[in-house]
Amino acid sequence: MRANDPLVLLLGLLGLIPFIVCAYLACAWRDPADARALIALIAYGAVILSFLGGVHWGFALDEPPPSLAGLAPVPTRADPAHRPRIALGVLPALIGWLALLIAILAPAPVIALCVLIAGFLATNIGEHTAHRRGWMPSRYLWLRWFLTIVVVALLVTTVVLRVSGARIVL
């Protein structure tokens, strides 16, 4: 399946719906429901970061032959160059988990949102680096950039509105 497959595009866009709904609900009201929506937003962000890491874990463990789709030779598990690939598979999940802990245990949801923003941006930078090394196809990268821009914009908007005390009124 390719990143430009209509099903992949549809599912990618559908994956934005919880971000949109939870961000809206977290910024529209000032009652206990907005706190639950804020935790739901952070939890979904943590889940998606884990999913992004899982994609790279799969890329790292798959080790396609060097001739596959013109990609550069992929480091083997014994090669030290393999370590960044494994890190890109695990670190997003740890960042998401940290954000969730901060939101629930601190409780500091704005800081948790900032951790998620940093996690999404860092993952995207890591993906770009992996692409430059020839470890992942560009057809995946353009979809990830688009989805990350939307997610980060929603998270930043939520942070700004929460810190400023403003509300969304529709």
Is the pTM for the entire model greater than 0.75?
Answer: yes
In tens, the pLDDT along 26-76 reads 998 777 767 899 999 999 999 999 999 988 877 777 665 444 455 555 555
Domain count, the chain: 1
Residues of the chain with pLDDT under 70: 1-4, 33, 62-82, 170
Q: How far is the CA of 14 from the CAs of 2, 10, 51, 65, in angstroms? A: 17, 6, 15, 33
The Cβ of residue 102 has, within 10 Å, a number of other Cβ atoms equal to 20
What pLDDT, on the 0 to 100 scale, is given for residue 41?
Answer: 97
The dihedral sign for the CA sequence 126, 104, 109, 19: positive
Q: Is 14 contained in some domain?
A: no
Q: Is 115 contained in some domain?
A: yes
Q: Is 53 contained in some domain?
A: yes
Residue 31 DSSP one-character state? S
Which of 123, 122, 98, 121 minimizes the C-alpha distance to 42? 98
Range of the domain at 96: 45-164
What pLDDT, on the 0 to 100 scale, is given for residue 67?
Answer: 46
The dihedral sign for the CA sequence 1, 4, 91, 94: negative
Helix and strand numbers (H, E) in the chain are 6, 0
CB within 8 Å of 108: residues ≥ 6 apart: 102
